[in-house]
Structures are given as C-alpha cells and as structure tokens.
Amino acid sequence: MTFLAHALSRVKPSATIAVTQKARDLKAQGREVISLSVGEPDFDTPEHIRTAGKAAIDRGETRYTPVLGIPQLREAVARKFKRENGLDYKASDTIVATGGKHILFNAFLATINPGDEVIVSAPYWVSYPEMVAICGGKTVFVDTKMEDGFKLQPEALEAAITPKTKWLVLNSPSNPSGAAYSYDEMKKVTDVLLRHPQVHVLTDDIYEHLVYGDFKFVTPAQVEPNLMERTLTMNGVSKAYAMTGWRIGYAAGPSHLIKAMDLLQGQQTSGACSIAQWAAVEALDGPQEHLATFRKAFQERRDLVVSMLNQATYLQCPTPEGAFYVFPSCAEAIGRKTPAGRIIESDEDFVTELLEAEGVAVVHGSAFGTGPNFRISYAASALVLEKACAKIQAFCASLK
C-alpha cells in the first residue's frame, strides 16, 4: 500500500512557479536576475479598495461568511455581469471563492467523472490540464498557430468534440499568449458549440479589462445567449484591480452547478476571506478610473517589448490583443550553439541558457503546450523591460 494518492502521479508541478523559484535561488547566490516569469501586476491595489478593506476590519467584518460569499458581493457580481457584459444573472446564480483557480477547480470537481473529456486549446495556462487530471478527466489539447493569433479555429474545435466531451475551457485574453477573441471570432466558436449540447463552456475572463487599442472584449454567453444554461462565466479581481494576494474569484452559471460547487466548497474552505470580500465589493462597485491608467501603462510596455524582441536575431513576436504577456517564437534559435558550445535543442534549453548567461528569467513555451516559444510577463516597469529585452537581444546575438 502506498501512502500518497495515485492522483499525484498525474500532476506536474507548475513551470511558472519553478522558474520563479530558480530565479530567486540565483538572486540568493548574489546574481543579478530580472524575473519576467510571474503573472502579477506591479501596481499597488487602488487606494479606495484598500480603504474599504481597512473599514471592514474596523467594522468587525471578521467572522465566517456564507460559503457562496457575502450577499453584498454576490449582488455586486450580478451587477457587474449585467453592466459590463450584458448578462442577466441573479445574485443566487453567483459564487465567490478563494481566487479564480478555486472556482475552476470546484467546477471540474463538481462535474468530471473518470473518462470525461475537457477541450483546452494550446498554448494554455499550466493549471488547466493538471486540475482535469486530479479530477480523473482527460484533457484533449487542440493546437493553435501563431499565424492564427494563437486562437482556436472552429474546424479544429469541431474535430476535437466527442460524445465524451464535457467542457471547453476558453481563456480570453489568454495566458500565455495574450490572444483575445473578437466578436466575430467568438461567434464562430459558439456556433460550433450550439451543435453539441453535451459540451459546457468554462470561460476564464480574468484578463477582461486588460485589452488594448480599439479591441472590444466579449464573453461566450454574451455572444450566444442560447449557451447561458451551459456556461460558467468566471472572473476575479486579481489582475485588473491588482488584488492578487486578496484571493477573490467569482463566477455565475446555471443554478444546479452553483449548488454543486457550494456543496464542495462547504467541505473545503467554506467562505473566502471576509475582509477581502468587502474590498472586492468596492472594486466592482467603486471608481474604475484606474483601469484606464493600467491599460495605458500595459499597452506601452507591450509595444516596447514586442518592438525590441522583433529586433532580436532569431525571434518572432506577434502583438497580442490583451493580458500582459507576449509569446514569441524562438524556432530559429533551435540547433544553434551558445558561446560555451552548448547546443540549444529546445525552448527549455533556450530559457535555461538565457537565465544562466544574462540573468533574465522567462518561461519556456512547451510548459504551456506550444513550442519552441517562451512567455514574457510585461507586468514590470518600462525601465526593467528595456534592460531585460536588451539582454535577450545580446543573448540571441551570441548564438551561432
């Protein structure tokens, strides 16, 4: 008899966390390291939200909350979906959890039986397939192409659907590529789903507010209202409100799914942090002016990084529509030698040698299911990004 659960053998550690830890280790050894591996805004939580959190403490809002979330936050979530997405969810159709990751995990745990299939387009956020594996399901990966903007094509989606397909996970804007679906692109995806009533849609809209230029964000149930009853629309306050550490995610969906997730969460964590929930009420209902400031800064950083990477030898970097990541190809660097004579045989070799040679930490694309690429988070100052990109240019120029 083994002590540890068999499920653990199906789960890989997070590549993004592993790279971040390696960067920390090198820093501890006295090396100068620029880490562009973490998906976390470098802005502070806006002051009015911090003030609301402090006020909640002073009012004594420090006791257990309902499992599904405080009524005030669930009502704010329903208002947000109506105001920003045109979705008519009742507060009773919503759930609040300890981060968006918790929402996703609860949804999978509540619905997946052994053998059930979940479609995920590659490149994908590293946690999706691991969550599915823990729950005993099978992830069906659908590759996307850089020339298609790393977006799921309707023909490829159609080909991947089987009678065992339970979920399609749709992340727009995407981690790691920054790709986001326009209305017309989303409509092509939802048209496919209408033909397959057994397939539910799990949207990851966490980067909703971080889109650039004239791009207009849309979510599946907004584009195709007939999918409302089989869509879980997930979002959170981490990225757009710089509240990663507050750990508040939320979702709305069909009542039978929300009830199932309530049952599970009641035996896991109960309600999310009371103080963070009150801060999240202010985030959703309060002033939104900071969003324009965030977007302007991130767009300027995106443009800087894309420009400098495209000036680097052997790299190709498309311009993403949203989030705060770029996902350049390093295909032309594969097979080349470093000054020390080591051959770059994969994108993992590329990022390892980059870290050793120049002290720049990025994440290899194969960790997200697509290579040879790598992911850069541009949630850092323009000064830091310029320095890092110059080091990447120098590293690429050194390859022969």
Taking only the tens place, the pLDDT of each residue in 317-331 is 999 999 999 999 999
**Domain boundaries along the sequence of the chain:** 6-44+290-398, 47-285
One-letter amino acid at 161 equals I
Alpha-carbon distance values, 266 to 73, 149, 254, 311 (Å):
18, 40, 18, 52
What is the C-alpha to C-alpha distance for residues 4 and 2, in angstroms, rounded to an integer?
Answer: 6
Alpha-carbon gap, residue 257 to 255, rounded angstroms: 5
Given a contact cutoff of 8 angstroms between Cβ atoms, the answer to whether 31 and 245 are in contact is no
Fold of 6-44+290-398: Aspartate Aminotransferase, domain 1 (3.90.1150)
Q: Strands 363-364 and 374-377: what pairing?
A: antiparallel
Residues of the chain with pLDDT under 70: none
Element (H, E) at 349: helix 347-358
Which CATH number does 47-285 carry? Answer: 3.40.640.10
Handedness of CA 125, 128, 129, 133 (dihedral sign): positive
Q: pLDDT (tens digit, 9 = 90+) per residue, 37-96?
A: 888 999 999 999 999 999 999 999 999 999 999 999 999 999 999 999 999 999 999 999
The answer to whether the beta carbons of residues 333 and 398 sit under 8 Å apart is no
